[in-house]
Every structure is written in structure tokens, then in C-alpha cells.
Amino acid sequence: MTGQTRLSWTDVRDTIRDRILSRTYAPGDKLPRDEDIAAELGCARPTVHRAMQDLSQIGLVERKRKGGTHVRADPVTRATFDIPITRREVEQRGSKYDYQLISRTVADAPTAVMARFGIRQPVKMLRVKALHLADNRPYIFEDRWVDIRSNPDILDVDLESESANEWLVRNKPYSRLDVRFYAMSAEGESAEYLATNAGAALLVIERTTWLGHDPITTVQAVAAPGYQLVAQN
């Protein structure tokens, strides 16, 4: 890759990460030397070294002093192991999974969402509301915000056929996760979409992820009454 614009270490990281996730570099493969990648991409060797450090920290590659850099045997699982794909979670219960996109809009992130990410200046994000179903019954209602500055490619995803949950787990490994569990009373949208009475107790799972310093997504997943957590590997 050549050109007059020098790549940053995040550009190099994202290029190598995309090759790993697309299996251009398959699990277990040895990656080219840092100097060879630098020559291919037209950047400095320290830029590649910094990118590889980040990929190592998030669990996609393993670097050894005299053994080179290898793709981990289970890179995506290691990078995202504690965020379940809801479809799999439902199917593991022996139920039939279905999904409905309620809405997707680009809007100004509210103060509460900015606070979760530690953002001080106003920013537009993609807001996705969706309903996951098990055996044709409401399972989880999610209200999600995705930072499109660091994840612009999600704007091209057909979220009517693939949930943001599944696409992000598969394509956006994270290096930091904040998670909260709490209860709330059903009201408004949560009562409507989960088909439950107002005032019913609901479990809320709130997750926020970053890759390095770049925000990825924050989601409030509200589970239908009777929801039981499934252990994820």
C-alpha cells in the first residue's frame, strides 16, 4: 500500500486486524516480519511495532522474541469471549431465534451515553433499537449506541438481517469492557417490546466497550421477565 499520506499505527492495526478477521491471516499463521509489513504498507517499522503491541494486548496475536508474531488459535473468541452473541445464547437453550430491527438513526449522543465513554464534546452516533426473540417470544430488548467515528463501516451493514450485537462481536474486538447489572421496573418501551406489565421487574445488562482509546459501543440490554444468564466461554 503506497501513497503520499503516511499511515498511523491505528491504520496499520486496523489493516492487520481486518486480515485476521477475514482469515487472510488464519489462526496459527505466522505473520510477516514487522519490517516487511512496514515496506508493504509504506510506513515506519516502529509504527508496525506499536500496532502489533495493541493487537497483542487485545488477544489477536502472540509475539515471541525469537519466534515472530502468530495469529492466536482462537483470536475472535479471546477478544470477545465475555460478550455473548444473543442468537447463539438462544439456540444453546434449544429455542428458535429471531430478531427484529426496531429503528436505526444517527443522532446526537445524550449526556448519559457521553458520560459512559468519557466524552465531553457533542458527537453523533448510530442508535440502534432491536428486539431479540426466543420461540417467537420477546427475549431481550436492546438500545445501543455505536461510535461511528471509530466504526464507520457499521453504517453499511444491513441491520435488518444481522443484529448489531452479532456484527460487533464478530468484527470489532475490544481491549476494555465496562459492564453493569441492575434491575428496573418495566415501563414505556421496555414494557411494550417485552410484552410485560408495567412495573414488572426486569434485568438490565449495560455494556460499554473500547478498542484502545477508541469508543466502540454502549448498549442497554433489557431482558424479559424470567431471564436467566447463560455462562459464556
- Percent of the chain surpassing pLDDT 70: 91
Q: pLDDT at residue 69 above 70?
A: yes
Is 164 within 8 Å of 151 (Cβ atoms)? no
Please state, in angstroms and rounded to a whole number, the distance separating the CA atoms of residues 172 and 21. 9
pLDDT digits (tens, 9 = 90+) for 109-123: 999 999 999 998 999
Nearest to 72 by CA among 57, 62, 87: 62
Q: In which band, very low, low, confident or very high, does the pLDDT at 57 lie, cut at 50, 70 and 90? A: confident
pTM for this prediction: 0.65
Give strand pairing partners of 146.
Answer: 126, 217
Residue 88, SS3 per DSSP: helix
Q: Quote the mean pLDDT of the chain.
A: 86
Domains present along the chain, CATH in parentheses? 9-77 (1.10.10.10), 81-223 (3.40.1410.10)
Please state, in angstroms and rounded to a whole number, the distance separating the CA atoms of residues 151 and 168. 10
Q: What is the pLDDT of residue 3?
A: 46
Contacts of 37 (CB under 8 A, 6+ apart): 12, 16, 31, 48
The letter for the amino acid at 54 is D
